[in-house]
Amino acid sequence: MLDIYEVLISRRTTKFLYPKDELVMQSFASCSLADVNVVIIGQDPYPNDKANGIAFGSSNGHTPSLNVLQRWIGKTIDPTLLTWTAQGVLLLNSALTVEVSGRTMSHSTLWKEFVEHAVKLCSDKGKVVFALLGNTAKELEYVIDTSTNEVHCEVHPASMCGNRNPYRHSEIFNDINSSLIRYRKTPIVW
């Protein structure tokens, strides 16, 4: 972990990194491992000040990805997504930071081992529902013990933004709740 922070400190001197330092671990601060029932994995943080350290969450209004999630759920949602984390939903990106210096660059390689370990810890609990949104998230499926946990896969919401199939609907949130019910756990109020 120290190596990751040394790299981040070094890069912050010449580049813009998101989210802010104090928000990088917000996913874990807002949902402890003991409380995790659902893990939703995305790609990387928003490359701007909307990044709040929670995958898909925004500290500054709705984003195109949040709008897609809202459409899939069928109701207005709080953009911070703290109402979800309070119910045991860990919202985790494959990379916890992103670099902006002329072009956006994910730090997925930098965070790979850390994120894999976090996913494995959740998997080891058993009876956790995983939602892997996008191809980058799907690369983490091998870390999950599918004999004791359920995995649902869906496209990344960003792929649904703009003119790219804007009316496609997903049942991923209903599927997650159905899995929770099978585990005799309380469904999430999305």
Active-site annotation, residues = 44
Per the structure block, which two tokens stand in for 91? Answer: 């919202």
- Hey, what long-range contacts does 131-134 have (CB within 8 A, 24 or more apart)? 131/38, 131/39, 131/40, 131/41, 131/172, 131/175, 131/176, 132/41, 133/40, 133/41, 133/42, 133/43, 133/157, 133/172, 134/42, 134/43, 134/158, 134/159
- Nearest CA among 36, 131, 129, 147 for reference residue 93: 131
To the nearest 10°, report the CA torsion of 43, 71, 131, 7. Answer: 20
- Nearest CA among 100, 65, 99, 95 for reference residue 81: 65
